[in-house]
Every structure is written in structure tokens, then in C-alpha cells.
A and B are shown apart, each in its own frame.
Chain A
Amino acid sequence: MMTPLNTEPNIANPDDFYARLLAAHEGRSKAESDALNARLVLILCNHIGDTDVLGQAIDLAAEG
């Protein structure tokens, strides 16, 4: 059985999380921010690990 991607709310304090994400980008150039995002994506993908879940996430993101 393929693990379904969790698309339900799963973050305890959404506003805190969002602020933290933006804060990490504060004062950075576009290039630095792009690099940070890329690192973040890689770090999170590795944490998830399950390639089925990653595949679903990539598909969902690609839908836009």
C-alpha cells in the first residue's frame, strides 16, 4: 500500500511556522533566498524519504 501524502493541516501553529519561514529569508538577495529554498527542499525530502510520498508531493506542487 502506498502511503498517501498528507494534505490535511498538520502544523500546530501555522502562523508561527509561516513567520519563521519568512524570517529565514529576511535580508537575503534573491539568489541567496533561492539557494536557501533549494537546501530546505532537499533537507525536507530526505527527512520524508518515502519516494511514493515524495512523488505525490512533487506532482501536487507541479500542478501549481
Chain B
Amino acid sequence: MFDDRYTVAHKIYPYERSPDQDKASAVRHPVVIVGGGPVGIATALDLGQQGVPVLVLDDHEGIGQGSRAICFSKRSLEIADRYGCAGPMIDKGVVWNLGKVFHRDEKVFEFNLLPEEGHKYPAFINLQQPYFERFMVDRLRQLQAAGAPIQLRGKNRVDGIEVHDDHVVLEVMTPDGPYSLEADWLVACDGANSPLRTRLGYEFTGKVFQDSFLIADIRMTGDTEFPTERWFWFEPSHGQGASTLLHKQPDGVWRVDFQIGWDIDRKEEMKEDNIRRRLDAFLGPVRYEIVWSSIYTFQSKRMARFRHGPVIFAGDAAHQVSPFGARGANSGMQDADNLGWKLGLVVQGKAPAKLLDSYSDERVHGADENILNSTRSTDFITPKSEISKIFRDAVLGLARTVAFARPLVNSGRLSVPCVYDGLSLNGPDALTGGPARTRVGAPMVDAPAGDDWLLGLLGGDFRLMTIDAEAPERLEVDRITVTRVALSAKGNPDLAARYLGDATSAVYLMRPDQHVAARWPGFDAAEVTRALKIATRRA
């Protein structure tokens, strides 16, 4: 009656009977999260760290086997840092910077993520998704041990939902049978096929791409080593697909990804002999074992809005993109980052519920950016028409010999955090000459700060960052406390370049998700108060 839909790699939240199951009537929780994938767990960490009681329900007893995501962005690591679990990710992950693009085996283009100095985290690491998730669950256990009000229940599958104006009622299935629960707020992080979204009948529209990709994660067992670079072939001469990707992961594992077309026999293709036939044609005489393989197709879709009364959607449940650009899990982490503080303030009665509509507005904006970029990459990698293939091949042909064509080559534009330009929580951008990259709506950019890193110093609350400017140490507006982080740009050229530009002093109001809420050349209590009210929808 309760079968797993996939094999569990790390069984780290085995089913345990909860006292809620023995109550005569449904127990009410402030926040229930459905789905213990990366986005559900990240959201739980965010709320739990704020002291907001949160319950996560997942229909398995641990983390699924097989790495879907492998590329995690700097922004995801910075968010994980705020949650206290970036350390093991960076220790385990593989840092890479160089990407090479080949067309019919000839190199046409090379890019370097060009790590800018003065950041705690690199532009990208490669790490198998099960590790990424595991490190977050380990952190969740640490927080629990320290008294954070987080619960995680394995083999608790949500089978039914009833939505009321101010709460939901859930029907939860367990190995001991069903029980009911209530929640003031429900965060649906139940993945791309979101049973909750389907059950509630919300539309999920966009494009389906007509191509299939065969992934094989392999471990080299001989002496063969490939460099720690991202290699991408268009029309490789080995003939085993219209494109091929090779990318390194930890534990000596390599991701190979073949584009194998739309009309395929899945079962046939998944046979080990057939996978090996492709790999052998590609790799030549090397020895390897297959760690994991899968065939995937993809879509670019999103919900019209991510909040429906007390039900909030996040991660793949709310939006889906093609994997080119590594924008799935990375954008889901930004969802958690964006939602956590807002839901925290609302649950604590410090902000009105309409603040949560800004979560939808901001993350819909992010999803559109991700869908746009990943759709463009997909159109280049899998041209839809004869003429788009002609232009694609023309670009690749020219890129070998002339520089101008190289920026047109698109084998995936890698995830960068979204800037909430022109959206409703933004306060004044009054810093004349201030750098564009830290404009209002942008995520704060890391920089060295003494022996520390700026983002670590700023943390996850409202902050007033002053650079060579005076301001009170503490400010309280409607029960929300803003504390000051005082810095000087003298002897810190990175800080000056990233936050002052042509200005000589600056005051930044930062949101708890480390996005810029407002900035000025100097402190003015009335201005900061006004911006804080805007950022919390109290204005």
C-alpha cells in the first residue's frame, strides 16, 4: 500500500509514528512543507533558524538515489552558508572554471567563469544532488539538536488537501494508515509533477521540448583522467547523439549526457549494453563502471502565480526549466531564500499576509528569466526547424575562425541570481554613482571584510550596512529590528568597487535574503523607516 517511487540512497528520515497520529482531532501547525527535496529542506532550515515551527512531510524515508543536479552556483552556496551547511558542500564539491565547446570534434570556443577575486565561494561547484541534500538534512538535525522547532517525517505522503481561507486540512498517508493535519500555511515543494498542484487544478503552462537525453554517471576504473572542465560537443563524430556533455563530479565520477532524439525506445536505450555501446563509441578503450543512468526529457513551464491563499508553491512544483544552465535547484534555493523571511515575519505577526504576494511576484520574475535563458539554450542545442539548424551550424562554423560568433554559441548560460528590478518591495536607489551590480533589488555581492567575508558578516536579518557613514547601531520599526554593520572602504578596494562606485560613502538597507532594499549616500532615519515599511508591505 505504500511503495517507494524511487530507490532511496540515504535513508536518513525513517518513518516514526508521531503523536499527531493518535490525536482525536487534526493537530494545527503554523507551517507545513510538503516535499523533502532540496527546496523543501532549505525552506525548513530558513524557518527553523528563525525559530518558526515547521513540519516537513516527505513520502520517502530519505534522499533519492541518482544525481539529477550536479552544478551548484555561488548564490546557492551563499544561501547554504546562511543556513550553516555550505562547509561540507565546498569540501566535497569539485570547483571548475573552464568550459570547452566542440563542433564535430573541433574546438570552437572556450569560456572561463573567470573567478573574480574577493568572494568566499567560487562561481560553481559540481556536487551530486544527493550529497547536496544530505548536507542540508545533516544541518537540519544539528538545528533540531540545538532546539530549533523543525520536524521531518518520512513516509508521510499527502494524499488529500482541503483549502480554506486561512488554513488547509491535509490527508496524510503513512505505513500505519492515514491521519489528518491542519496548517495555517502550506508550502508545496513536491517537485515537478506536484501532486498538490494537480489536485488543486492549477495550470502549469509552457513548452515541452521534443528531445530525450541519456545520462550516464560513470566512474573511471583504469588510469584515464579527464580534466576538471565542462566539455560540450555539438554533432560529435562518435555519432552517439546530436550533442554530448562531459563534466566531472566528486568521487571520480563523470557525467556523460547524450542527446538521443525524441522517437526512442526508452526500455531498449536503458539496457546496460546499449548504454555501454554509446559510451564506448564516445570514450574509446577506457575502463569504467556505470554509477547511475537515466533518460530525461524536459519542459519549460511555470504556474501563473506561486501563492494561492494559504498555499504557496516553490521549486520545481512552481516552475520547471531545461537543465542547460543549471537553473533548477539553483533557482529553487532562491525561492527558499525569498520565501523564508517573508513567511517568518507573517507567522510572527510582524508583516501582513500580502507580503507573501511579493514572493510570487519576485520569483515569477526569476522563473521567467530562467525559462527565457534555458529556452534559448535549448533552441540552440536542439534546433526546432531546418532554418534554426542552418543558423546554428553557421554560428558554430564561424566560431572556429572568427571571434564575433563565439558569444552566440549557447551550450547553456549558467545560473546567475535574479535582480528584482522594478518590483514592489524596492525602496529608493538614491546613491548617485553607485555600482549597477548592487542596485536596489540585486543580491548583495560578497567582498572581503577584515578577516571575514561580507555576506557572512551581514547574515540573514534586516541590516544597515554603512560604508564610511554614520548611523545608529540599532533601529526598531514596528517590532522589526535593524542592526548596523559598519565598514570602511579604506584599504578595501573590492568593497569600494562593489558598493561605492563613484560615491564616497554609502548606507545600504539589506533584506534578510541579502537583496538590496534601498541605498543612500548617508543615513536618514525617516528614509530608512520608510524603506523598511515598503520592504515589509507595511507602507
On A, residues with C-beta under 8 Å from B are 34-35, 38-39, 41-43, 46
Residue B6, interface by CB 8 Å:
no
B404 and A38 contacting across the interface, CB-CB below 8 Å: no
Q: Determine how close the nearest CB of chain A comes to the CB of B148; give it in whole angstroms.
A: 51
A35 and B397 contacting across the interface, CB-CB below 8 Å: yes
B397 and A46 contacting across the interface, CB-CB below 8 Å: no
Q: How distant is the Cα of A36 from the Cα of B404 in the complex, in angstroms?
A: 17
B398 and A42 contacting across the interface, CB-CB below 8 Å: yes
B394 and A39 contacting across the interface, CB-CB below 8 Å: yes
Given contact pairs A42-B405, A42-B408, A46-B404, A35 touches B398 in the complex (Cβ within 8 A): no
Contacts of A38 in B (CB 8 A): 390-391, 393-394
A34 and B390 contacting across the interface, CB-CB below 8 Å: yes
A35 and B404 contacting across the interface, CB-CB below 8 Å: no
B390 and A42 contacting across the interface, CB-CB below 8 Å: no
Q: How distant is the Cα of A46 from the Cα of B397 in the complex, in angstroms?
A: 15
A35 and B393 contacting across the interface, CB-CB below 8 Å: yes
Q: Determine how close the nearest CB of chain B comes to the CB of A36; give it in whole angstroms.
A: 9
Contacts of A41 in B (CB 8 A): 391, 394
Q: How distant is the Cα of A11 from the Cα of B394 in the complex, in angstroms?
A: 26
Contacts of B405 in A (CB 8 A): 42, 46
Contacts of B390 in A (CB 8 A): 34-35, 38
List the A residue with the shortest CB-CB distance to B391: A38
Residue B312, interface by CB 8 Å:
no
Q: Determine how close the nearest CB of chain A comes to the CB of B397; give it in whole angstroms.
A: 7
Residue B395, interface by CB 8 Å:
yes
List the A residue with the shortest CB-CB distance to B404: A46
A43 and B393 contacting across the interface, CB-CB below 8 Å: no
Q: How distant is the Cα of A39 from the Cα of B394 in the complex, in angstroms?
A: 5
Contacts of A46 in B (CB 8 A): 404-405
Q: List B residues 396-446 near A (Cβ within 8 Å).
A: 397-398, 402, 404-405, 408
Q: Determine how close the nearest CB of chain B comes to the CB of A61; give it in whole angstroms.
A: 13
B395 and A42 contacting across the interface, CB-CB below 8 Å: yes
Q: Determine how close the nearest CB of chain A comes to the CB of B387; give it in whole angstroms.
A: 8
Q: Determine how close the nearest CB of chain A comes to the CB of B310; give it in whole angstroms.
A: 45
Contacts of B398 in A (CB 8 A): 39, 42-43
Sample of 24 A–B contacts (CB below 8 Å): A34-B387, A34-B390, A35-B390, A35-B393, A35-B394, A35-B397, A38-B390, A38-B391, A38-B393, A38-B394, A39-B394, A39-B397, A39-B398, A41-B391, A41-B394, A42-B391, A42-B394, A42-B398, A42-B405, A42-B408, A43-B398, A43-B402, A46-B404, A46-B405
Contacts of A35 in B (CB 8 A): 390, 393-394, 397
Q: How distant is the Cα of A33 from the Cα of B358 in the complex, in angstroms?
A: 52
Q: Determine how close the nearest CB of chain A comes to the CB of B406; give it in whole angstroms.
A: 11
Contacts of A34 in B (CB 8 A): 387, 390
Q: Determine how close the nearest CB of chain A comes to the CB of B399; give it in whole angstroms.
A: 10
Q: Determine how close the nearest CB of chain B comes to the CB of A5; give it in whole angstroms.
A: 21
List the B residue with the shortest CB-CB distance to A40: B394
Q: How distant is the Cα of A38 from the Cα of B385 in the complex, in angstroms?
A: 14
Q: How distant is the Cα of A12 from the Cα of B395 in the complex, in angstroms?
A: 29
Q: Give 8 nearest A-B pairs by CB, closest first.
A: A38-B394, A46-B404, A39-B394, A38-B390, A38-B391, A34-B390, A42-B394, A39-B398
